Amino acid sequence: MNNNKKAVKKNIILTGFMATGKTATGKELARRLKRRFVDTDQVVEEAAGMKIRDIFEKDGEDRFRDLESVAVAGLESHPAGSLVVATGGGVLMRKENLASLKKHGLLVLLTATPQVIIERVSKTEERPLLDGPDPEKKVKALLARREQCYRACDFNIDTTAKSVQEVAEEIIDYLS
């Protein structure tokens, strides 16, 4: 069995920086592969009973990261290969999350240029980590800090000039 056939028996984990299309691509991929879709940000919000922005504001980032780690650990209770997962952009910063996701998952890193990320995030107010006067500087600093942990992924796709359908297709091609 080659590596890609093995990959089909794993969960597909879409990770990468904010606004690289993880959730939209994950939904499309899950539809096409007939798998269940799980978004760890949504699991966190349901567990906390509040939006991510409110968790950051009321309880701080560490509390958010703890809830995120619980959401990741919870994925292990699903049969391997049954899920498509979209994670939050900072999930791999904790080593235990990386180990857990790698155990049953193929890690697909979605990327985009800082310019495109900034353009996309400027359209919403959902990213508390980018609050403040200079979001561009924050995006660049976070990207630099995360570069190393993103390298642990199995497969990268630059989503800068691609539609959700194109990205989903690229992942399916990789799997087959």
Alpha helices (runs of H) in the chain, residue ranges in sequence order: 3-8, 22-33, 40-48, 52-59, 61-74, 95-104, 114-121, 135-150, 164-175
- Residue number with CB closer to ligand S3P (61 or 76): 61
Is 10 a binder of ligand S3P (CB under 6 A)?
A: no
Closest distance between ligand S3P and the C-beta of residue 17, in Å? 6
CA atoms within a 13 Å half-sphere pointing along the CA-CB vector of 125: 4
Is 18 a binder of ligand S3P (CB under 6 A)?
A: yes
Q: What radius of gyration, in Å, describes the C-alpha atoms of the chain?
A: 16
- Residue number with CB closer to ligand S3P (18 or 33): 18
Is 52 a binder of ligand S3P (CB under 6 A)?
A: yes
Q: What residues from 92 to 131 belong to the interface with ligand S3P (CB under 6 A)?
A: 127-129
Distance between CA atoms of 8 and 55, rounded to whole angstroms? Answer: 35
Is 13 a binder of ligand S3P (CB under 6 A)?
A: no
Nearest to 17 by CA among 130, 131, 109: 109
- Residue number with CB closer to ligand S3P (6 or 134): 134
**Residues in contact with ligand S3P by the rule CB under 6 A:** 18, 22, 41, 52, 88-90, 127-129
